[in-house]
Structure formats: structure tokens, C-alpha cells
Structure 1
Amino acid sequence: MDNLMATAWSGMRAAGQGVQVAAHNVANLATADAPRLQVQRAAVEQGGVQTRVTAAGADPAAPLADLLAANAEVVAFAANASLVRRQDQMLGSLLDRRA
């Protein structure tokens, strides 16, 4: 169970970081020297995901891509949060049965 929770928490952290990066990119559209950032993800051997923020190249479609990415990250966060919530409910039910 701990591995499942750790995986969900890491997914939530990665999604939150993705939203922050997308917000950074959208907020700095008018700033000429502001670097465009991207989140790179890598699977962790024990389960979950590890992230790293890197500079991204210029892309004319970047504003639309960043807005779509932010929406996708919100959905990913909600899905992982739902898993955490369900796991908590299951654990509570298990404890109620044992009590």
C-alpha cells in the first residue's frame, strides 16, 4: 500500500510542477529573454515519477501547447488525488472492520 501511495504522491508533485512550468511560460510570453521551460519525467524503479525542469527551445505554438499542458496536468493531479482519497477510504474501512 505504501508504494501505491508514494506513486500517487509523486504523480501529484509532478503534475503540480507541470502546472507551475506552464504558468511560468505563459506569464513570460512578453519577456524576450525569459527562457521557456519544460518538465522532463522519468520513471522511478520503485514506482512513481521523478521530474526535472529544463530549458526548452523556441516554439511558435508554445502558448497553446502550454495552456493545453496545464489542463492535462490538472487532470493528472486530480486522478492521483482521487487514488489517494480512495486508498484512505479503503484503509479507514479496513480499520473499522478490525476495531
Structure 2
Amino acid sequence: MNDVMGTALGGMRAAQRGVQVAAHNVANVATPDATRLQVQRSTTAEGGVQAEVGTTTPDPMAPLGDLLAAKAEVLAFAANATVIRRQDQLLGSLLDRQA
């Protein structure tokens, strides 16, 4: 797998994890003892991103932020998917020219 593909896939995984965390937080907003989660992102040596889930303190305004974060994660996922599609198209064009 090349660097562009790996970086985009890492971004897609991180975005997916972000949507899962936001969904967890929204679904458990009325649960008294529920743990609120957050995603911590860090860069990898290969140039991608890694997402880890941790706990955070409760926040009464959090549900709105979680819904907005989920939307941003969906857009990030779509952007990374577009990068993968373009990479595939460029590779196909290059192979067509070489053939």
C-alpha cells in the first residue's frame, strides 16, 4: 500500500472512530453513570493519523458538540474516500499510458 492510500485509510479509520464516540455520547446523555468519551488523535511515523478513545469529564452542553463533531467526522471520512478514489483513478491513468 502506498503512502497516499495508507494516510487516507488512517484518516477514514479515525473519522469512523469519531462518529462512534459521538454516537456513544449522544445515546448515553440521559444515563446517569455513563462515561463520556473523547477521541485523541496523534500523527504516526508514516504520516497518517491514529485515533485513541479516552474518557473525559461530563459537560452539559456536550450533546450539541457531539452532533456537530459527528457531522465533521462524516465530512472527513468522505474527504479521505475522495482521496482514495482520485489515487485509484490516477494510478489507472498511469497504467493506461504505460500499456
- Which bracket does the TM-score occupy, shorter chain normalised? over 0.9
Q: How far off its partner does 1:77 sit? A: 0.5
Q: How far off its partner does 1:4 sit? A: 1.1
Task: Note if 1:2 corresponds to 2:9.
Answer: no
| Secondary structure of residue in 1 paired with 2:64 | helix
| Secondary structure of residue in 1 paired with 2:37 | strand
Say what the alpha-carbon RMSD is for the aligned residues.
1.0
Question: What are structure 2's unaligned runs of at least 5 residues?
Answer: none
Q: How far off its partner does 1:64 sit? A: 0.4
Q: Deviations over 1:8-51 (max 9, x none)?
A: 00000000000000001011111111101000000112110011
Structure 1: distance between partners of 2:90 and 2:24: 37
| Secondary structure of residue in 2 paired with 1:51 | strand
Structure 1: distance between partners of 2:51 and 2:13: 9
Identity of aligned residues (%): 68
Instruction: Count the aligned residue pairs.
Output: 99
TM, length-normalised to structure 2: 0.96
Structure 1: distance between partners of 2:62 and 2:56: 10
Equivalent residue, structure 2, for 1:69: 69
What is the correspondence of 1:10-89 to structure 2 with a 5 Å cutoff?
10-89=10-89
Q: How far off its partner does 1:69 sit? A: 0.3
Structure 1: distance between partners of 2:57 and 2:72: 21
Structure 2: distance between partners of 1:58 and 1:21: 14
What stretches of structure 1 move > 2 A for 4+ residues in a row?
none
TM, length-normalised to structure 1: 0.96
